[in-house]
Each structure stands twice: as structure tokens, then as C-alpha cells.
Amino acid sequence: MANPTPPWADRIPEGAFITTEPTYPTGKYQHLFSKDEAFGLKYYYFDPTRNGFPKKSGYPLLIFLHGLSNALVGDLCINYTGAEMFASPEYQETLGGAYILIPVANEYTDDNGRCQGGWDASYTEPAMQLIDYFVKEKTPGVGVRFLLGNSAGARFTFHLASEDPGAFDVLVPVGTSDIPGDEVIDEFDRLGVTLFYADGMLDEIADHEVIEKRRPRLESMKHSFIFTPDFVYNGDKGIASINFGFEMGQHCLMNGIQANLMFDDGTPMYPSLPNGMTGWMAEEIRRRAE
């Protein structure tokens, strides 16, 4: 049975093609993550000092917040949230080593088959408690704190940062149009928070009219990178589609970020990020160390 034609198929450039799967491996680095529970939340984590890096404090912390229903897939949530490839030797080497933390929402399927229990305001306190607990109990201390979220996790990224603007150094919301108001952005600026805001221009879910209205303020931040590519790609250079459920291939920019925004042949997906996502993150870590 042929895959359904995406609604944006008539807008792709001449000679371009559509593919429906990311090309990075799923599950290859899953064994490098440990699992635990605290404050009523399950979580996964990666410790660089158990994987070839010297024991010391100050490694960056990458916190990944998954999208809606991703908690329902069990340990595959590690990959679905966008975090798994960041535990690979290549990504870790570029970052100079990094802790990874993946909090997991208590999602479940109701009698009508709908996912319930996703990220909302009720998770604010337990999520923040978990992050603080992880740093104190599982690390000797961390450096730059990155908070990355995908779709519903991107909304929750903005929510957590709005509740406590000084808790995170770098925000990476991917695939949401729920952007805080100017007063919150002003506070981010005052505290030196960096924003890497990412969403595909053909996102099938987020409202790009809302995004464009907020773009001028986001671009005027002291430290921001507004990343809204015309097309979201897979590693094989195909424009990203989804061949199950409903079409959201262009919504899933986190797949490209997990691919380090690099094609399989080693060339960058986007000229604005010639060294990929890890290259941008490494530059941000270096900037903050100066």
C-alpha cells in the first residue's frame, strides 16, 4: 500500500524526494542509559564518566523532554525524545562529554485510546525537583544546563523556564508555537538565557502565523538562534514525512536534531549550522566559559 501524499508535497523543490524514516540507528546506544525513579517520575540518564570521560565536575547537562505519547513506548522513549544519539561517542566528543537526563511523564491510554497524563502544569514541581535531585545525587556538579523539548515537551520547556527563568542556561524548544510573552523574554535576557528556537516552516501542527508574530522579539534577544528551515530533512537528503498515524514529518524537526542536522554523507543539512547541532552547542559552551 502506497504512503499517503503529504499535504505539502506540491511545494517541494524540483528534483527533491520524500522519505519517511530517519536514518540514524534506533536503540544502538540505549544500553548506555540507566533508569531510575524519583518524585513520582521515571527517568533515564547517561553519565559521561561511565563512558570514557574523566571524573570531574562541570560537564554540561542536556535535559530532554519528550513529546505526547512518547512515554507509552517504553525504553524507546530514549530515542523518541531525541536524546539517544547524543550519547554516541561522536556527539559526546564534540561536546567534551555531557550528562543526559530524560524525565518521563506518567502517560497512559484511556478507554477511548487517547493518551492522557502528558506534560502540564501539574508536573512543574516534580520535574524541577527531579532535575535538582539528579544534579546533586548523580553528578559531582554540572556546568551549562540545556533544556530541550520536542512538541509537547517544547511547550513544557517554555513553561518550566517561565516558572523559573534562572534554572536553565540554554532553551531548545522544537516544534511549538506556544511562546511566552515579552515580559518572560525580557527576564531571559536579563539573566543571560540563550534561546535556540526551532520549527519547520511547513510544520503540520504548530501555528506558524503565531510564530511569525513573535519572531521579531525572539530575534532581538541578546542570545538567540531562530531556526525555521523551509524543509525538514532526513539523513538520506529526503524531505521528512511520516508513514503512519497522521502526517507530521515536518513537525518532527527533533528527528533532524537527533541526526545532528547533518546528512549521512557528512554534509550539513543547513548552511546556517555548518557544524550541526552539536557544533552549535559546543560553541555555546565555549562562549559561556570565556
DSSP reduced 3-state for 265: coil
Residue 110 lies in a domain: no
In this prediction, residue 1 carries a pLDDT of: 42
Tell me which residue of 137, 161, 167 sits closest to 149, measured CA to CA: 161
| Domains held by the chain: number | 1
Q: How far apart are CA 250 and CA 242, in angstroms?
A: 9
Q: Are 94 and 55 in contact (CB under 8 A)?
A: no
State how far Cα 79 lies from the chain centre: 11
Least confident of 115-124, 185-194, 249-258: 249-258
In this prediction, residue 4 carries a pLDDT of: 66
Whether the pLDDT of residue 5 is over 70: the answer is yes
Whether the pLDDT of residue 244 is over 80: the answer is no
Task: Please provide the DSSP assignment of 202-249 as one string.
Answer: T-SSS-HHHHHHHHHHHHTSSSEEEE--SS-B-TTSPEE--SSSS--T
The mean pLDDT of the chain is: 94
In this prediction, residue 127 carries a pLDDT of: 98
Residues 6+ apart with CB under 8 A from 72: 107, 108, 109, 115
pTM here is 0.96
- pLDDT, tens digit (0-9, with 9 covering 90-100), for 166-196: 999 999 999 999 999 999 999 999 999 999 9
Residue 4 lies in a domain: no
In this prediction, residue 151 carries a pLDDT of: 93
Tell me which residue of 108, 99, 177 sits closest to 142, measured CA to CA: 99
Q: Are 34 and 47 in contact (CB under 8 A)?
A: yes
Residue 33 lies in a domain: yes
Residue 252 lies in a domain: yes
Whether the pLDDT of residue 2 is over 90: the answer is no
Residue 207 lies in a domain: yes
Q: How far apart are CA 224 and CA 110, in angstroms?
A: 39
Residue 2 lies in a domain: no
Domain that holds residue 33: 9-105+116-289
- pLDDT, tens digit (0-9, with 9 covering 90-100), for 133-157: 999 999 999 999 999 999 999 999 9
Residue 3 lies in a domain: no
In this prediction, residue 242 carries a pLDDT of: 84
Instruction: Indicate which CATH number applies to the domain containing 189.
Output: 3.40.50.1820
Residue 278 lies in a domain: yes
In this prediction, residue 71 carries a pLDDT of: 93
Residues 6+ apart with CB under 8 A from 156: 65, 119, 120, 123, 127, 149
Whether the pLDDT of residue 247 is over 80: the answer is no
In this prediction, residue 6 carries a pLDDT of: 86
Average pLDDT over residues 125-132: 98
